[in-house]
Structure 1
Amino acid sequence: MKILVLGAGVVGTAAAYYLARDGHEVTVIERHDGPAQGTSYSNAGLVSPGDAYAWGSPSALRTFIKSLYTPDLGIKLRLRDPYLLAWTWRFLRQCTQTRANANTEVKLRLALHARDCINEITADTGIDFDERRKGIVYFYRTQQGLDTGAEHFRYIGERGLEMEVVDRKRLFEIEPGLADSGDRIAGGIYSPMDQTGDSLLFTTRLAQWATDRLGVTFLYNNEVKGLDIADGRVRTVRAANGAIACDAVVLSMGPESGVFARRHGIDLPIYPIKGYTATIPLEDPAKGPTMGGVDEDRYVAYSRIGNRLRLASTAEFASFDRSHRPSDFTRMFRSAHELFPGAVDDRKAQCWAGLRPMMPSSVPVIGPTRRYANFYLDTGHGHVGWTMAAGSGKFLADVVAGRKPDIDPQGLVPVN
């Protein structure tokens, strides 16, 4: 089939790779001048099944209320977008313990599959993206926080995630880069199944490999304008540089996916949630981390990408605003200096803000829509698109081919 993939982020590029590997004629349409220039450009760098918990849970409302009077918590809200109210109502409906458990299990199922898939891609293509397969540490600054976190992680530990609850001494043995943080850390959770890498490098190099080896065509600087539909099927995609006929279409436009889908009568409740990252050269690599980590009390994640430290934080509900100010990075810089004293000079940081495509359930949608038989979704991955991209692409290719997917599709396939 001639398949058009809308979006050349990490999700769309991984889908293009797997679809082309199945023998389809694949063209990717992208509004930017290269792959991974939107959401996939920068993130915490974590490929983290350990971060599979759904955002919606009984504690979510308490966390939101706390954020109103605790600016350092890393959650910001701007009530400027009417659609946010509708999205929030649907999000709150996911905040029961039953829904939280169900959504978490779907996320974990896909995340574990995706980790195997990204390693398969690495073996198949040989591309390098500064990956490290050393695990990730999720740590806490108080014993109470550690005890609560251990109970929290136990749920996914019982469902396939290998994990170890560690005290401060054991944590510093696993991650010597944290040893100079002193008594700021009580202990943490070590997930050896997690890993790290640069999503920009991965996407850029996979796109080139797919072009050279699989014949995938990437059309850059070519914004998608709409769909031409007849007899319940998409016939052509209208783009800035002209219409393109197709047999099937895959929507992977990140935070813009929801707006685009709703314009064509498909209820896709994606909301763009802004996150901030900073990438800083390591002044002394020996003082930096050796693996990825999450400061659970400060809501700051980080990873070691080559000889750079990547920091990420904040969930800001501000519609499609991608702007940022120096003050937006103060909290994560403070955490970096506390955890890795002498490792970085934040005056050399490359600062960035981007949007995560978040579903109310925190679960992406992958597969055909009921409205148009040949219109597929592979989007809505929220803050774990880098983690789930490869598994989503493989799952989508299996669905398109009519094969039985490697994982249970329950909870992933669109219902509208």
Structure 2
Amino acid sequence: MKILVLGAGVVGTAAAYYLARDGHEVTVVERHPAAARGTSYSNAGLVSPGDATAWASPAALKTFIRSLYTSDLGIKVRLRLDPYFYAWSLRFLRQCTTARLRANSEVKLRLALYSRQCINEISDEAGIGYDDRRKGILYFFRSQKSLDEGSENYRFLAKHGLPIEIVDRNRMVELEPGLAAAKDGIAGGVYSPVDQTGDSRMFVEKLAAYAKERLGVTFKFDTTVEGLVVEGDRVAGVKTQAGVLTADAVVIAMGPESGLLGRRHGIDLPVYPVKGYTATVPLDAPEKGPTMGGADEDNLIAYSRLGDRLRLAATAEFAGFDRSYKPSDFARLFKAGQELFPGAFNPRKAEVWAGLRPMMPGSVPVIGPARYKGLYLDTGHGHVGWTMACGSGKFLADLVAGRKPDIDPQGLVYGG
């Protein structure tokens, strides 16, 4: 088949790779001048099945209210006249029961564990290096109370296949010597040995090049999608500012813009943008930096070691499609990084960035056929898009081919 994939981030590029490997004629359409210039450009760098717990939970409403008056909280809500945000919020709150939390987290974990395997298979097959480290990730807590409460979510994931180790501060420093200076301010944590880290932008750029050179995938950059071409009950192509592109099938993998395109064509696709901030800084003293990825669960700050660089990431800000930022937005991030790894880096050398995560109300992406024949979705991966992208691409390719997927499709296949 002739297939158009809309979006050249990690999700769209992975889908294109798997579809082309099946023998389809694949063209990727991207509004940016190169692959991985949107959401995939910079993130925490964590490939983290351990972070599979859904955002929507019984505690979410309390956190939402606190975010309205607490400026240093990791979650921020900028109230605005955006009816779609309020509609999305209502759907989010419906997911905030214990039953939905557990169900959504189990689906995310299933896909995340599978996707981690897919990332490594692609890397090995295509010879892609991306500053990856397969040493695990530490999720740590500042107080015994938060450790006791937070550990419950990890124990649930463990029951569903995630290997974990609950660690005290001494074992934590044994695993991660880089945290020795911050040891006294940490109660303990959870170590997930199967988690790993890597630079998503580097991975996507190399995968796109491989897909183009070895699998014949065409990339149309600087090309903005304006709408779908619908003929009767099927999709026949897409409208772009450069003209119409025809196809037998279309895959929407446009990150936070996916919901905008879907709504133009009557598709119930509640993807909402959530802004995150990252800083990437060279390590002046690599021996003082981390040796693996980690997350400060109380302060909602994550980090990765990418070669001799440190990636710091924080904040979930509901501000619509605003991608702007100012120096003060990163002050909390740098403060935390310097407290954790004193003397390891100079914030003045950092490359800072802000981007949008495509969030679904239940934190579970949507994959599979949509309203029109020939139309497929692969979007809504939220804060763990880098983790789940490759598994999603393979899962989608199986659906397109009519094959039985490698994992249970329950809770993943789009039903809207």
TM-score by length of 2: 0.99
Instruction: Provide the C-alpha distance between the structure 1 equivalents of 2:193 and 2:304, rounded to a whole number of angstroms.
Output: 14
CA deviations 1:374-414 (Å, max 9, x no partner) are 10000000011000000000000000000000111111111
Instruction: Provide the C-alpha distance between the structure 1 equivalents of 2:102 and 2:153, rounded to a whole number of angstroms.
Output: 11
Instruction: Provide the C-alpha distance between the structure 2 equivalents of 1:182 and 1:109, rounded to a whole number of angstroms.
Output: 33
Contact 1:47–1:197 (CA under 8 A) maintained in structure 2: yes
Query: How many angstroms does 1:78 deviate by?
Result: 1.3
CA deviations 1:172-203 (Å, max 9, x no partner) are 01001111214011111000010000000000
- Deviant stretches of 4+, over 3 Å: none
Does residue 99 (structure 1) correspond to residue 106 (structure 2)? The answer is no
Structure 2 equivalent of residue 126 of structure 1: 127
Does residue 233 (structure 1) correspond to residue 234 (structure 2)? The answer is yes
Instruction: Provide the C-alpha distance between the structure 2 equivalents of 1:182 and 1:219, rounded to a whole number of angstroms.
Output: 49
Instruction: Provide the C-alpha distance between the structure 2 equivalents of 1:195 and 1:162, rounded to a whole number of angstroms.
Output: 13
Q: After the TM superposition, which of the residue ranges 148-157 and 25-34 deviates more from structure 2?
A: 148-157
Query: How many angstroms does 1:224 deviate by?
Result: 0.7
Matches within 5 A, 1:159-178: 159-178=160-179
Instruction: Provide the C-alpha distance between the structure 2 equivalents of 1:270 and 1:5, rounded to a whole number of angstroms.
Output: 18
Structure 1: tracts of 5 or more residues without a match: none
Query: How many angstroms does 1:71 deviate by?
Result: 2.0
Contact 2:237–2:249 (CA under 8 A) maintained in structure 1: no
Instruction: Provide the C-alpha distance between the structure 1 equivalents of 2:232 and 2:293, rounded to a whole number of angstroms.
Output: 49
User: 1:114 is aligned with what amino acid?
Assistant: S
**Quick one: percent identity of the two aligned structures?**
69
What CA RMSD, in Å, does the superposition of the two structures yield over aligned residues? 0.8
User: 2:29 is aligned with what amino acid?
Assistant: I
Matches within 5 A, 1:17-96: 17-80=17-80, 81-96=82-97
User: 1:47 is aligned with what amino acid?
Assistant: V
CA deviations 1:221-264 (Å, max 9, x no partner) are 01111111112111121112221110000000000000100101
Query: How many angstroms does 1:152 deviate by?
Result: 2.3
SS at match of 1:83: helix
Instruction: Provide the C-alpha distance between the structure 1 equivalents of 2:210 and 2:244, rounded to a whole number of angstroms.
Output: 26
Structure 1 equivalent of residue 6 of structure 2: 6
CA deviations 1:54-81 (Å, max 9, x no partner) are 1111011112222233322211111212
Query: How many angstroms does 1:117 deviate by?
Result: 0.5
Instruction: Provide the C-alpha distance between the structure 2 equivalents of 1:11 and 1:3, rounded to a whole number of angstroms.
Output: 15
Instruction: Provide the C-alpha distance between the structure 1 equivalents of 2:142 and 2:111, rounded to a whole number of angstroms.
Output: 30
Query: How many angstroms does 1:344 deviate by?
Result: 0.8
Instruction: Provide the C-alpha distance between the structure 1 equivalents of 2:43 and 2:186, rounded to a whole number of angstroms.
Output: 24
Contact 1:72–1:298 (CA under 8 A) maintained in structure 2: no
TM-score by length of 1: 0.99
Contact 2:64–2:77 (CA under 8 A) maintained in structure 1: no
Structure 2 equivalent of residue 222 of structure 1: 223
Matches within 5 A, 1:367-378: 367-369=368-370, 371-378=371-378
Structure 2: tracts of 5 or more residues without a match: none
CA deviations 1:147-186 (Å, max 9, x no partner) are 2222221010111000000001100010011112140111
Structure 1 equivalent of residue 278 of structure 2: 277
Structure 1 equivalent of residue 137 of structure 2: 136
Matches within 5 A, 1:10-409: 10-80=10-80, 81-369=82-370, 371-409=371-409
